[in-house]
Amino acid sequence: MRRILWALLAVGVLFIAIGSSVYIGGRLPSRVWYFSWLLAPKWHGETAAGTENLGFILAGLYLLLMALVVLFFEKSPYSPFKWSTSRFLLFMLSLQMLLAVALIVFLPYQLTIDDRYYFSQAVNLMWGQEIIWDHSLIIAAGDNITAWWPMGYPIYLYLFFKLFGVHLWIGQVANLIPLLGITLFAFLFSRELFDRGTANRTTLALVILPSQLFYAIPLYSDLFFSFLVMVLLYLSVKKRSLANTLLMGVIFGFAVFTRSIALFFVIIFWFYQIRRFRQWKPALVQLVVMLVICEAILLPWQIRNYRVFGQFVPFDTHGGINLWLGNNPKTRFQEVDFSLIPEEASVFNPHSQLNEAEKDHVLTKIGLSYALSKPLETVINWPRKVKRLFISDNWVIMAIAGYAAAELSPLLLSAIFRFTDGFYYALCISFLLAAVFWVKKERLTPRVILVLGTISSLVIIYLPFFSDYRYHLPMMPLIALTAVVTVAKYKAK
């Protein structure tokens, strides 16, 4: 935890220094003022530079406060680290829940596009209706039947709507379970791989990680998917058994039904099992069982898609547009120009004769053809995609700030943006330092393969596609775990 402590101090002091710096012509450089478009008209008269400076200072003070919190947990005789496991977890999970509930209550939020999709599908399930989409971006010819995204998260929301009624706040309450579940299973996973001390520190890092709390507000699938990944990781380190394999298959199936990229988890899992038990046949059998269960979960969805679109759609109809977004002439500039798409395949064209699955197929061919025709450009774009994947941790705040800006001052918004990224940068610095020492110390031990291999696989998955900085959320528990590890203390497992 010492690395995080020093990183928080360093970033905090840096932010205060930036905020206290002399104005350049009365303003900071324009590139620093990147969220002015969010501000309500009543705030536009305020000085951007002054707001930014004070925002940096407030964020720096917050990071120094978090450093003191870390120091208290590490050194104080009253530290919760000294409590029993059950008491510690109850305290930390309660604290995280209270902070998340406070954000839900005090920050205004409305549905936009992605979250409206998930909400709409949950409501459609509630009333036994077809899976349809009411936004013009994704309307097929003649109707609005869709398979734009898989149905794992809408099914989860549907269960809550069925029990408690259809309300936006019910969906936000439902988000609290995966939020707390990520923290709980990160603790259990860390303790299984290392010890109670590492589990304590991983839990603390996640509870005070700002973005983790903000994800409880919008109805996006990211938090739910991250929870399923964390449960999979925990089950993968438990003793191999029939019950464990069956449960992993179910969780894996729902993870794929939430985000199809979860399918690639089985590769790292298989390598981990082989390295751990030194036997490839039992690992292969376990892998096959998981894939069979996964397919059983997906099969009704696939049958429905075939009946609707007249062709096999295994997961969703969103892969083609993502592949095209990651491979087109504007990719290297990180720009999106939908005018480059043929009109018939455009998601903006509701009058196309192609249905949604056919458009997806066309866009897949276009994206793949472009990538293969320009292999050098494709490879050169990979670092840019990795940069975009990790450049910031405030995507979720950007998603909700458009509504919060009308009621919150720009100073507070500036501080929220800054301390969210500041804490994230401190955690990433600690992660990079720890990862180097960990690999140097242990080489490719099973736990190195599982933790760093999972992070690496999630990065590699996005290289052919469009990457966005919300997509690193499933990696954050593993980044936090790595950041707090003191490798020299532990025997390699």
Residue-wise DSSP of 425-438: HHHHHHHHHHHHHH
Q: What is the pLDDT of residue 429?
A: 94
Residue 356 and residue 317 in contact, taking contact as beta carbons nearer than 8 Å: yes
Residue 420 within any structural domain of the chain: yes
| Of 344, 228, 342, 347, the residue nearest 294 (C-alpha) | 228
pLDDT category of residue 116 using cuts at 50, 70 and 90: confident
Kindly state the helix (H) or strand (E) to which residue 41 belongs, with its residue range: none
pLDDT category of residue 350 using cuts at 50, 70 and 90: low
Mean predicted confidence (pLDDT) in 124-151 = 63
pTM above 0.95, yes or no: no
Count the Cβ atoms, other than its own, within 10 Å of residue 52.
Answer: 26
pLDDT category of residue 407 using cuts at 50, 70 and 90: low
Average pLDDT along the chain = 84
* The total number of structural domains that make up the chain: 1
Residue 10 within any structural domain of the chain: yes
- Scored b (16 or more CB within 10 A) or e, 249-275 reads bebbbbbbbbbbbbbebbebbbbbbbb
Residue 184: what residue type? L
pLDDT category of residue 225 using cuts at 50, 70 and 90: very high
184 contact partners, CB below 8 Å, separation of at least 6: 89, 93
Residue 325 within any structural domain of the chain: no
Q: What is the pLDDT of residue 158?
A: 93
Please check the confidence at residue 40 and state whether its pLDDT lies above 60.
no
Residue 159: what residue type? L
CA torsion, ordered 277, 282, 286, 292, to nearest 10 deg? 160
Q: Residue 76 in 3-state DSSP?
A: coil
Mean predicted confidence (pLDDT) in 347-360 = 78
486 contact partners, CB below 8 Å, separation of at least 6: 198
| Of 234, 284, 224, the residue nearest 254 (C-alpha) | 224
Mean predicted confidence (pLDDT) in 430-453 = 92
pLDDT category of residue 51 using cuts at 50, 70 and 90: low
Please check the confidence at residue 130 and state whether its pLDDT lies above 90.
no
pLDDT category of residue 278 using cuts at 50, 70 and 90: confident
> Which tokens is 41 given?
């008209």
57 contact partners, CB below 8 Å, separation of at least 6: 15, 16, 19, 20
Residue 451 within any structural domain of the chain: yes
Mean predicted confidence (pLDDT) in 300-317 = 90
Q: What is the pLDDT of residue 47?
A: 43
Residue 442 within any structural domain of the chain: yes
Please check the confidence at residue 360 and state whether its pLDDT lies above 60.
yes
Mean predicted confidence (pLDDT) in 240-263 = 93
| Of 293, 283, 288, the residue nearest 257 (C-alpha) | 293
**Torsions phi, psi for 166 (to 5 deg):** -90, 100
Mean predicted confidence (pLDDT) in 143-153 = 81
pLDDT category of residue 133 using cuts at 50, 70 and 90: low
Please check the confidence at residue 28 and state whether its pLDDT lies above 60.
no
Residue 326 within any structural domain of the chain: no
Q: What is the pLDDT of residue 404?
A: 57
Mean predicted confidence (pLDDT) in 27-38 = 42
**CA 466 from centre of chain:** 14
Mean predicted confidence (pLDDT) in 298-304 = 93
Distance CA 443, CA 447 (A): 10
Please check the confidence at residue 445 and state whether its pLDDT lies above 60.
yes
Mean predicted confidence (pLDDT) in 364-391 = 91
Residue 249 within any structural domain of the chain: yes
Distance CA 493, CA 486 (A): 14
Secondary structure E strands in 158-210: none
DSSP characters over 403-461: HHTTTS-HHHHHHHHHHHHHHHHHHHHHHHHHHHHHHHHHSS-HHHHHHHHHHHHHHHH
Mean predicted confidence (pLDDT) in 71-99 = 95
Q: What is the pLDDT of residue 1?
A: 72
Please check the confidence at residue 38 and state whether its pLDDT lies above 60.
no
Show the domain range for 128.
2-313+390-489
Mean predicted confidence (pLDDT) in 42-60 = 62
User: Which of 45-49, 307-311, 340-344, 476-480 shows the lowest mean pLDDT across its residues?
Assistant: 45-49
Please check the confidence at residue 119 and state whether its pLDDT lies above 80.
yes
Q: What is the pLDDT of residue 138?
A: 43
| Of 273, 201, 69, the residue nearest 489 (C-alpha) | 201
Residue 318 within any structural domain of the chain: no
**Torsions phi, psi for 127 (to 5 deg):** -100, 10
Maximum average pLDDT range among 199-208, 303-312, 329-338? 199-208
Comparison of pLDDT for 320 and 477, the residue scoring more? 477
Please check the confidence at residue 441 and state whether its pLDDT lies above 70.
yes
Please check the confidence at residue 128 and state whether its pLDDT lies above 90.
no
Residue 431 and residue 479 in contact, taking contact as beta carbons nearer than 8 Å: yes
Q: How many residues does the chain have?
A: 493
